């Protein structure tokens, strides 16, 4: 992988991680356009880069998990379904990164998720153990590239009548355990031994910077307004991939 390719992939990862349009799916499509390979390990590394904006901009909420064991358990419970699904379907997930037809379908699914999210009204409830597990099941569905993790999780939280501010913070923070778990498994499997050092560094930096910009936008702007644009964009992207496949 060339350095410029890694930078572009990092920018794509950062801007798409927090928008409900699937960062992993966009990494796969961008890698195919650039003529390089987007391995699952490189994707995990780019996701680790976007942990920095989460831990910085949601520092207060994250630190509360260390002070409040009950709140920490919510994120652990929410991680279990995705962890089990990831272990069971890891090879299928890896193969999906290079399957255009599969990505076209999953991007269309993300468009439907975004559409439904705009039709469902939130509430004023706080996350509970039951809602954490239910939301974790939504997150498990989003392990495949093209299915938006943030969009799926936010839809699940709205269905449970969680208020928008709590839904946003919970949705983004609950990605931390699953990304760290993916990192741990990749290190054990020796996957990072195949990564090229310089491209990885530049990709990491570009993903971090663009991630900050995207997360600030998601924190400050109302979801309904953004989702209208994301819905149309995902439909166009899905149709384009179907035509090009």
pLDDT in tens, 216-234: 988 887 777 888 899 999 9
**pLDDT given at position 232:** 93
As a whole number of angstroms, the distance between CA 35 and CA 26 comes to: 14
**pLDDT given at position 46:** 82
Better-scored residue on pLDDT, 98 or 29: 29
**pLDDT given at position 40:** 63
Lowest mean pLDDT among 76-85, 102-111, 197-206: 76-85
Domains of the chain, by residue range, sit at: 3-244
Give the confidence band of 200 by pLDDT, cuts at 50, 70, 90. confident
Give the confidence band of 188 by pLDDT, cuts at 50, 70, 90. low
**At a CB cut-off of 8 Å and minimum separation 6, what does 227 contact?**
20, 114, 115, 117, 118
pLDDT in tens, 1-21: 788 998 999 999 888 888 888
Name 125's bridge partners: 162
Give me 31's structure tokens. 């890698």
As a whole number of angstroms, the distance between CA 7 and CA 75 comes to: 31
**pLDDT given at position 191:** 55
pLDDT in tens, 52-103: 998 888 888 777 777 777 778 888 888 888 778 777 776 766 666 678 888 9
**pLDDT given at position 106:** 92
**pLDDT given at position 240:** 94
**pLDDT given at position 154:** 85
pLDDT in tens, 114-160: 998 888 877 778 778 888 888 888 888 888 888 888 888 888 888 88
**pLDDT given at position 205:** 93
User: Mean per-residue pLDDT for 169-175?
Assistant: 79
């Amino acid at each position: 992988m060339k350095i410029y390719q890694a930078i572009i992939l990092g920018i794509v990862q950062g801007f798409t991680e927090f928008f409900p349009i699937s960062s992993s799916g966009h990494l796969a499509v961008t890698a195919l356009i650039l003529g390089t390979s987007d391995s699952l390990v490189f994707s995990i590394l780019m996701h680790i880069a976007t942990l920095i904006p989460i831990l910085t901009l949601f520092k207060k909420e994250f630190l509360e998990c260390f002070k409040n064991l009950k709140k920490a358990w919510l994120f652990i419970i929410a991680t279990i379904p995705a962890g089990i699904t990831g272990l069971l379907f890891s090879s299928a997930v890896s193969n999906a990164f290079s399957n255009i037809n599969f990505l076209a379908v999953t991007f269309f699914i993300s468009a439907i998720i975004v559409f439904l999210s705009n039709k469902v009204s939130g509430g004023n409830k706080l996350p509970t153990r039951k809602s954490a597990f239910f939301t974790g099941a939504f997150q498990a569905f989003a392990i495949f590239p093209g299915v938006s993790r943030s969009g799926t999780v936010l839809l699940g939280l709205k269905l449970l009548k969680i208020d928008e501010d709590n839904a946003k913070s919970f949705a983004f923070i609950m990605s931390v355990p699953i990304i760290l778990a993916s990192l741990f498994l990749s290190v054990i499997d020796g996957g990072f031994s195949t990564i090229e050092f310089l491209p990885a560094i530049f990709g990491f930096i570009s993903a971090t910077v663009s991630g900050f910009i995207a997360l600030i936008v998601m924190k400050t702007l109302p979801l309904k307004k953004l989702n209208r644009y994301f819905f149309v964009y995902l439909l166009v992207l899905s149709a384009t991939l179907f035509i090009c496949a």
